[in-house]
Amino acid sequence: MKIIKEIFSWVIPLLIGFLIAYALKTYVISIVKVDGTSMYPNLQNNERVVMLHYAKIKRNSVVVFNAYGVDHNNPTIQKDTKYVKRVLALPGDKVEYHDDGKLYVNGKYQSQGYITTTQQTTGTLKAETVLTRNAAVPLGTDSSFTVPKGKYFVLGDNRAVSNDSRYYGFVTRSKILGVVKVPFWNNKAKLINSY
């Protein structure tokens, strides 16, 4: 009997610890690996980032979402494929993206200081790609669109190579898994965590 009590004295705390860790990983915070260069230079290929499951999504937040059922252009998408992108507009926002690279959301100019001028202009508007632009997302002077209710407009920071809302359209809220944060010692932390 004494041996059984001794075993339970360390098994039960261990089991509780595993359950707490599982609950935190599933419902609060997870580590996610960035795969590819669509967020370069602010996030690197293979970089590990923290994803907060219930953080508020704001304009310019970097988010992780399940791409399955969103990106119909990529035949390699699996049920657990995750994309990391930046939210440029929220549900109901009216977006205007001019030829000079200036972004206006609901008539207000939005700085894109997290990317270069080249990415704001050529990278965003004239990206060389085999993908077809989504008709619901017209970009360029004299064009505008409104983000549908319950959906988000997302772009990668490395716009010249990013497969994003310009091609597959808007991302439904239910597909967004969480908001990305990086440690304070990361030299790009301000460009990721400030939003």
Which residues have a catalytic role annotated? 38, 85
Q: What is the DSSP string of 43-79?
A: S-TT-EEEEETTPPP-TT-EEEEE-TTT--S-TT--T
Question: How many Cβ atoms sit within 10 Å of the Cβ of residue 101?
Answer: 19
Side-chain half-sphere of 37: how many Cα atoms within 13 Å? 4
Cα-based angle 30, 31, 32 (whole degrees, multiple of 5): 115
Going by the DSSP 8-state scheme, the letter that residue 86 receives in this structure is E
